[in-house]
Amino acid sequence: MTLYSLAVRVKEIIDLRTEYEETKDQQILLSLNDRSGDLNMLADSIISAYQIAGVGETHEVFVDVDEFGC
């Protein structure tokens, strides 16, 4: 996943939140909750991968974000 892809996913959540605040549509709220949950799992996975690699390691750490369906 590129930084661009991650930014797009975060932006989708921000846009959904804004749309929900304007409409109070329950379908949008459900979609927002799903996307937020996916993003939370992704963040946890990235944090765990870096912790497993160890602080100060020089090798790159990759997380397969596609498994989260974000």
Higher pLDDT, 61 or 13: 13
**Residue 12 is assigned to a structural domain of this protein:** yes
Q: Exposed, middle or buried by CB within 10 Å (0-12, 13-18, 19+), for 64?
A: exposed
**Residue 50 is assigned to a structural domain of this protein:** yes
**Residue 21 is assigned to a structural domain of this protein:** yes
**Residue 7 is assigned to a structural domain of this protein:** yes
**Residue 18 is assigned to a structural domain of this protein:** yes
Instruction: Please give the tally of structural domains in the chain.
Output: 1
**Residue 29 is assigned to a structural domain of this protein:** yes
Q: Which residues form the domain of 19?
A: 3-56
* Model pLDDT, residue 11: 93
Give CA–CA dist 51/61, Å, rounded: 10
- pTM of the predicted model, to two decimals? 0.62
- pLDDT, tens only, 7-48: 888 999 999 999 999 999 999 999 999 999 888 888 888 788
